[in-house]
Amino acid sequence: MSDKSNKLPEELQLFTSAHVKYIQSLDTRKDEYDYWLTEHLRLNGLYWGLTALHILGHPEALPRAETIDFVLSCQHENGGFGAAPGHDAHMLSTVSAVQILALVDAFDDLESRGKGKAQVGKYIANLQNRQTGTFAGDEWGEEDTRFLYGAFNALSLLGLLDLVDVDKAVDHIVSCANFDGGYGSGPGAESHASQIFTCVGALTIAGRKDLIDTDRLGRWLSERQVAGGGLNGRPEKKEDVCYSWWVLSSLEMIGKTHWIDRDSLIAFILSCQDPDRGGLSDRPGNMVDVWHTVFSITGLSILGYPGLQPVDEVYCLPKSTIERVLGR
Amino acid sequence: MAEHGGSHGGIARTSRERTASERQADLDRIARYRALEDEIRTRVAASGDSAAAVDLFHLTSKLLRLNPEYYTIWNVRRRSLTSGLLSRRSAACSPSRASLSGSRTATTTPPSASSSSTSSTATPHDQPSPTAGRSGTLVDDNDGKKDAELLEGELRFTFPLLLESPKCYWLWNYRLWILGQAIERLPTAAARRMWEDELGLASKMLTKDQRNFHAWGYRRHVVNQLESPALGGSSMVEAEFAYTDRMTRANLSNFSAWHRRSKLIPRLLDERGADDLTRKSFLDQELGTVNQLLSVDPKDQSLWYYHQFLMLNLLSPVGRPTITPAFSLEDRLSYIMREIEGIKDLLESYEDEELDDDDRDAVKQIYKALLDYTLALCQLEGRQPDGQERELVAGWLRELRVLDPMRDGRWTDLERDYGLRG
């Protein structure tokens, strides 16, 4: 590992080997109550951890064969994936499954040993509200632009975007736009950085960035940077390291990453590390978790922090994965 | 992907070292938790008679109290309600019909074997209802009383969990589903009472956390439903507008409330049947209020965003609902120029003063507003900034470079766009 060979001063170092070990340790914590309480996020967690490892340049740190086996063990007959074996299918875990399979180049396994791409596509497409264009998370009907983005993300990776009504979904996103240039979880909802990521991401996948008020949105997003260098998700809120992803990826998609201060954001992200045991937390000194860890590292990647693999700002996967899957 | 923050899989930095007895205590908790899970899974697989359904239901209560994030268990609970505990309805009522947003036409296959059998086994017991309608398909129930009790019980059950976990998507979701069931199963008046109480809950949650994103979204849903014909409702726009008054007064920095206000205004004016004069005085009043607040706290982003909303009605009214659609271009220009002058006046109190951090934040906001509105004014008139405006803009940008270096790239782009560099 290259931590020590780094010429950067201690406070500007990324403790790569500690983070790799932390992520590797996540599935060995079966004697901790929290491990069981978070089983409903297992597949998502695997996506977060694996993406972080790939961006850190350690894709081999989790075993590929077991990863694929686990993902396929979460799939239901209807094509959808649950968060873990025995958990109901849901859009969020289904998207994580597709992302993981893309990451480890295992769509072939999905065809040969799983229910196949077409069935996954059908599961996702059935969750579209054909009247409004938006998507539900599962059969119980909660709708949110998060699910719309997830559907676009997974379907486009599978090459099945034509299964859904893209134009209607785009109309729906437009109806979620606010005067400040941002987007909310649905029509009428307040602008929120993570919902902006989902809406701008979906519009990018649909090839409709022309519908974004990039100037106004860019101003709003750049105002998310607060005095300490970190980013918040809404006006007058505290900074949180996960917005290093939601805000930055959105700025990147509209070509305005340079509208925030790179160096102070890097310093803030690095201050959220646990240097000894690895992982990053929402703010310095708090509990680390794999969610904040991945979105810190992908944020650093967008900022061009040395030694990291480039991340795709739309899919939150390595650029190399997107090039391989989408042939870009 | 996946969303929302919180400490997923979080392991406290301080709690990673456990003593032997702490570790043993954890192992015991894990064993109890997993035993409960196993019991639920076994019973789901067996999916037996109604007594078994009651047992299963109670087991889900136990597990959900330990872990309200366990979405699959919420689904088990829903299925045990629809497949036995609640009165049976005609086959036309599928679970997805209860979806609040309602009209999803695509139906999905329920994921577990136990659930997919639900509707087919239920159907033969149901008689076609002569009054099959939105809420009228009850068959073996006495006026929905039992259902009402069950559904109210569900709201009581989830309430303390919501207080403990106010950002848990699944909990909010489950409550909405229960309330959707009320619409489908109860007489309109009874369902309406439940939804009205729910508005009270939304207010309570917003009193506890004024910016809770979930609670604001929830409130919007609840109000939409209360306004809908399904609940014999009518517009609540006046009451909701008054609510944003109270919320913004209680905390001027509550942008969530300002946002909500911005969304209500076009509808409010339409429903009031406001004529041009009324609309003009409404705009005057809103501008007056926010300008007065800005003169007290010019560093508050929320106030500036609301000001921006009002200005957008003047600056780019095409394609947006406007407050004053009858304004001529001259009207708009005179308002915009008046606002710009008013903002310039705010600067006066900072001239020749030693600026502290708050002052600097205030001055930054003022320069940004001046830039935004001045350049938008030129656009509105379809012209480039004139000599005097260019000088002003260049000056504000120079100040911003010093006061707000974090956004230096933005200032550079503006200088480039307007040829102000060098």
Cβ-proximal residues to B270 (8 Å cutoff; 6+ apart), any chain: none
Closest Cβ opposite residue B111 in set A88, A150, A191: A88
pLDDT number for residue A85: 97
Closest Cβ opposite residue A129 in set B2, B95, B101: B101
Residue burial A166-203, b: 16+ Cβ < 10 Å; e: rest = beebbebbbebbbbbbbbbbbbbbbbbbbbbbbbbbbb
Cβ-proximal residues to A115 (8 Å cutoff; 6+ apart), any chain: A75, A76, A77, A79
ipTM of the shown complex: 0.95
What residue ranges define each of the domains in chain A, with the CATH number in brackets? 12-326 (1.50.10.20)
Q: A33, B26: Cβ pair inside 8 Å?
A: yes
Q: Which chain B residue has the Cα nearest residue A135?
A: B104
Range A51-79 average pLDDT: 98
Q: B30, A290: Cβ pair inside 8 Å?
A: no
Per-residue pLDDT of chain B (422 residues; tens, 9 = 90+): 444 433 333 444 545 678 999 999 999 999 999 999 999 999 888 866 677 788 899 999 999 999 999 999 999 999 999 988 888 764 444 444 333 343 333 333 333 333 333 333 333 333 333 333 344 444 445 557 899 999 999 999 999 999 999 999 999 999 999 999 999 999 999 999 999 999 999 999 999 999 999 999 999 999 999 999 999 999 999 999 999 999 999 999 999 999 999 999 999 999 999 999 999 999 999 999 999 999 999 999 999 999 999 999 999 866 666 899 999 999 999 999 999 999 999 999 888 778 899 999 999 999 999 999 999 999 999 999 999 999 999 999 999 999 999 999 999 999 999 988 75
pLDDT, tens digit (0-9, with 9 covering 90-100), for A29-63: 999 999 999 999 999 999 999 999 999 999 999 99
pLDDT, tens digit (0-9, with 9 covering 90-100), for A205-246: 999 999 999 999 999 999 999 999 999 999 999 999 999 999
3-state secondary structure (DSSP) of residue B16: coil
| Tokens linked to B96 | 């997805």
| Tokens linked to A29 | 């914590």
Rounded percentage of chain A residues whose pLDDT exceeds 70: 98
Bridge partner residues of A289 (DSSP)? A280
Pairing type for strands A288-289 and A280-281 reads antiparallel
Answer whether residue A26 shows pLDDT above 70.
yes
Residues of A in contact with B358 (CB under 8 A): none
From residue A167, alpha-carbon distances to A171, A185, A206, B103 in Å are: 6, 18, 8, 19
Closest CA to B406 of A202, A205, A260: A260
DSSP A183: B
Q: Which chain A residue has the Cα nearest residue B41?
A: A86
Residues A238 and A193: their CA atoms lie apart, in Å, by 13
- Over chain A, what is the mean pLDDT? 96
Chain B CB within 8 Å of residue A49 CB: no
Residue burial A109-144, b: 16+ Cβ < 10 Å; e: rest = bbeeebbebebbbbbbbbbbbeebbbbbbbbbbbbb
Answer whether residue A4 shows pLDDT above 50.
no
Q: B29, A90: Cβ pair inside 8 Å?
A: no
Per-position DSSP letters for A3-45, written without gaps between them: TTT--S-GGG---HHHHHHHHHHGGG-TTSHHHHHTGGGHHHH
Task: Determine the distance in angstroms separating the CA of A205 from the nearest CA of chain B, rounded to an integer.
Answer: 15
Closest Cβ opposite residue B2 in set A38, A44, A87: A44
pLDDT number for residue A9: 78
Q: Which chain A residue has the Cα nearest residue B40?
A: A86
Contact B193, B232 (CB under 8 A): no
Residues A185 and A149: their CA atoms lie apart, in Å, by 11
